[in-house]
Amino acid sequence: MLELGTLEELPRAYREALSNHHLAPLWPLMRAALPYDMPIRRARPHLWKWTDVRPDLLRAGELTPLEKAERRVLILANPGLGPDSIRATPSIFIGMQLILPGEFAPTHKHSPSAIRMVIEGEGGYTIVRGEKCPMEKGDLILTPSGLWHEHGHEGAEPVIWMDALDLPVVGALECAYAVEGKSQTGSNQPDASQTRYLRAGLVPYSSLGQRRPDYPLIRYPWRDVREALVAMSGVVDRNSMVQLAYINPETGAECMPILGFSAMMLRPGETARPIRRSSSAVLHCIEGQGEALIDGETIRFAESDTFATPTHAEIEILNRTSKPAFLFQVDDAPMQRKLGFYEEFQ
Ligand code: GTQ
């Protein structure tokens, strides 16, 4: 291995000259920038327990009216990424959002893309591009870059969901910004998951002949995803994972450009061994409970808990119970694939 020169070995006058000229020598930083064999990972495997998140979020509801928040969100800050971190992993922003009965989170659009994963409560809705999407537990709702969106609540109990945004990526490129908008008149029609894209394998015929909408499907109801996982679990080999990817039904590609979404089922007694990958991820338990072994660290998760897995992590997920467990996963594999450095390690 090369012994690289350090900064201290350079004459002070030279270092000062470089600094005055806004120049820096690479060689003392070389191994920090490009370590051998494995990236330096500051992000830690970390668990955010629902029993902590929920009361803290409800307290935010008492302390801060929505008019003073625009979005009432608590950010999941990965402890390895520093005290001011607003990232759950290097690329993934996760927020827990609370909306109280009768409240309204005003219309805006922004350059980062977002999704919602509904955790609790009934009567919440999001209007995306004029499409009114009901929010039921486990539903995935997309809010892609540049699409107008607003949230409201017609129910009686608090509604809480998880937001995932590619904000750390868009922000690092100094491209993150939002635009305020006027309230949208939501269409009276049910959202496209209940109409045009009701069944896998079927798309509106007209979409074959003309330019397809970029984001034809905004809402992926949990009821359908859960049913599909259960059906699949009966035929998938015990050594393979029961996992479904959320895709764009018109293109077959991942449904958003930077972050990817999937749902998995852990059968009773199952130990799942996802392939080691260069992507980081956040997992959220929709139902059931289990244990995740991440780079040798054990995380015990229960319903509505959320945990982060670093890039290149060695992962095992165990369900020791007699009931199935269901996890939702956000990862940055779509971006890594597009940029040409995504890797899987056998
Ligand atoms: O609901 O539009 O967690 O704009 C962060 C930024 C949620 C939202 C977040 C946002 C939103």
Task: Assign 83 to helix, strand or coil.
Answer: coil
pLDDT per residue over 102-127, tens digit each? 999 999 999 999 999 999 999 999 99
Closest C-alpha among 90, 95, 72 to residue 158: 72
Q: Sign (positive/negative) of CA torsion 238, 239, 245, 249?
A: negative
Structure tokens of 292? 């995740």
Does 265 reside within a domain?
yes
Is the beta carbon of 171 within 6 A of some atom in ligand 1? no
* Sign (positive or negative) of CA dihedral 129, 258, 294, 49: negative
pLDDT tier, 2 (very low <50, low <70, confident <90, very high otherwise): confident
Instruction: For residue 126, give the ligand 1 atom closest to its CA.
Output: 1
What is the distance in angstroms between the CA of the first residue and the CA of the last residue of the chain?
26
- Residue 264 lies inside a defined structural domain of this protein: yes
Render the burial of 115-140: b for 16+ CB within 10 Å, e for the rest: bbbbbbbebbbbbbbebbbbbebbbb
Q: What confidence score (pLDDT) does residue 337 get?
A: 98
Whether the CB of 135 sits within 6 Å of ligand 1? no
The total number of residues written for the chain in this structure = 346
Q: Tell me the β-bridge partners of 98.
A: 160
Nearest CA among 196, 194, 200 for reference residue 247: 200
What ligand 1 atom has the least distance to the C-alpha of 95? 3
When the pLDDT of each residue in the chain is averaged and rounded to a whole number, the result is 96
Confidence class for position 220, pLDDT limits 50, 70, 90: very high
Reported as a single tens digit per residue, the pLDDT across 10-57 is 999 999 999 999 999 999 999 999 999 999 999 999 999 999 999 999
Task: Give the whole-angstrom CA distance, residue 149 versus residue 180.
Answer: 10
With respect to residue 213, please indicate whether it lies within any of the assigned structural domains.
no
**Ligand 1: distance of its center to the CA of 99 in Å?**
12
Q: How many domains does the chain have?
A: 1
**pLDDT of 211 over the 80 cut:** no
Note the pLDDT of residue 212: 75
User: How does pLDDT run across 231-279, given as a tens digit for each residue?
Assistant: 999 999 999 999 999 999 999 999 999 999 999 999 999 999 999 999 9
Question: How high is the pLDDT of residue 115?
Answer: 98
CATH of the domain at 336: 2.60.120.10
Given a cut of 90, whether residue 288 has pLDDT beyond it is yes
**The residue type at 297:** E
**What digits encode the pLDDT tens for the residues 129-175?**
999 999 999 999 999 999 999 999 999 999 999 999 999 999 999 99
- Residue from 98, 104, 165 whose mutation best tests the ligand 1 pocket (most atoms within 8 A of CB): 165
Token output for 219: 């809402």
Closest by CA position to 240, among listed 262, 265, 261: 265
Q: Is 8 a member of any domain?
A: no
Residue 52 falls inside a structural domain: yes
Residue 3 lies in a domain: no
Structural domain boundaries enclosing 106: 40-185+218-345
Longest dimension (CA), the chain: 72
Q: Give Cα separations from 333 to 6, 139, 171, 261, 281 (angstroms).
A: 35, 21, 18, 9, 9
